[in-house]
Amino acid sequence: MDLVINGSFWIGAAIGALGAVVLLDPAVIDPEYGWRLGFLLGASLALLIFFMRIWLPESPRWLMTHGRAPEAERVVAGIESRVMGAGHVLPAAGLPRVRLRARTHTPLSEVAHVLFHQYRRRTLVGLSLMSGQAFFYNAIFFTYALVLTEFYGIRADHVGWYILPFAAGNFLGPLFLGRLFDVIGRRPMIAFTYVASGVLLTGSGALFAQGTLSAAQQTFAWSVIFFFASAAASSAYLTVSETFPLEIRALAIAFFYAIGTGIGGIAGPWLFGALIDTGSRVNVFGGYLLGAALMIAAGLIAWFFAASAERKPLESVARPLSFLD
C-alpha cells in the first residue's frame, strides 16, 4: 500500500500534463498567463490536501510514545471494528507486549547516535537509496521536456502528451510490483528494481546516443524504465521509515530525503541541463550512465546490507528508543 500511495504521485503528474496541454495552447490562452495558471492548479490541490488532513487519524504508536494511550486505544479499536465488520476474524493470540516510556520528543543527540552509530549500516543503505533515486529521477524527469524539444523537435505545448505514458509507467510499477516486496521480500525486490532501472537506462541511453529512437520510442523506453524505477524510489521511502526506531520514523524520512535531494536533486538537473545545452547526444548519454551507475550501486548496497523487514512488527525491526526492559 505504501508503494501504491507513493506511486499515485504520477496520477497527479498525468492530470498536470493534460492541464498543461490546454493551458500552454496559444489558441486557448495566452502562454504568458497559461504557465502561471498551471502553477495555480498545483497550489489548489495543496489546499485540498490541507483539509483532507482533518480526517487522518494519528499513528497509534506515536500516541503511545507521547503518553496518549487512551487516544491510541480508540484509533486501534476503530480499525479493529472496521476489520471485523468486513467479515474478517482477528487472531486469537495477541502479539508480544512491549512496555514504553512516554516522552515528548527525542533529543537530536540521541538521533545522531542512532543514525551514525547504532544503525550506521542502515544509514548507509538509506543514503544510497535516496541519493541514487533522487539523481535518477530528478535528472531525467526535470529535463524530460528539454530532451523532447531539443533533440526530437517536439513543440513545447505538445510535451504534455508525452508525459502521459511516462506517468502511466510510473504508477503501474508500484501497483503491480508493490505486493512482491511483501511476498518475495524487501532486500531482493529493492535490489532488483534498482539494478533493473540502471541496466535499462544504460541500454536506452546507448540507443539515444546513436539516434536510433524516435520520440515515441524514447517515451516508451522511459515508461518501461520507470515502471521499475518508480517502485524502487518508493521503496526507498518505505525503507528509511520502517528500519529505524519508531520514535524517529518521520525524522528519518525527512533527513534522508533532504540529504538525497541535496545530492541528487540539485546536482542531477544542473548537470543534465548543462549536458543538453551542449547539443551532444553522447554527452547526455554520459549523464545517463552516471545515473545508471548510482542506481546499480544502491541496489547492490541494499542487497548486502538492507534489513529484511517484511511481515514483521516495527518493534522487532528496530527496538524502540523508549523501550522498557
CA pair distance 233, 134, nearest whole angstrom = 8
Q: Which three cell numbers stand for residue 288?
A: 545517463
Q: Quick one: CA dihedral 306, 308, 311, 315, positive or negative? A: negative
pLDDT for residue 94: 66
Digit-coded pLDDT (tens) for 189-201: 999 999 999 999 9
Domains recognised in the chain with CATH numbers: 2-54+107-309 (1.20.1250.20)
pLDDT for residue 305: 95
CA pair distance 249, 65, nearest whole angstrom = 12
Query: Does residue 39 register a pLDDT over 80?
Result: yes
For the beta carbon of residue 19, count every other beta carbon within 10 angstroms: 16
CA pair distance 162, 140, nearest whole angstrom = 14
Digit-coded pLDDT (tens) for 225-277: 999 999 999 999 889 989 999 889 889 999 998 998 888 778 888 888 888 88
Mean pLDDT of the chain: 89
Pair 131, 263: CB distance under 8 Å: yes
Q: Which band of pLDDT confidence, cut at 50, 70 and 90, is reported for residue 118?
A: very high
pLDDT for residue 260: 86
Mean pLDDT value across residues 34-57: 83
DSSP state at residue 107: -
Q: Which band of pLDDT confidence, cut at 50, 70 and 90, is reported for residue 216?
A: very high
pLDDT for residue 142: 77
Query: Does residue 33 register a pLDDT over 80?
Result: yes
pLDDT for residue 28: 85
Nearest residue to 257 (alpha-carbon basis) of 132, 130, 140: 130
pLDDT for residue 198: 96
Q: Which three cell numbers stand for residue 313?
A: 512488527
Give the predicted TM-score (pTM) of the model.
0.87
CA pair distance 280, 259, nearest whole angstrom = 31
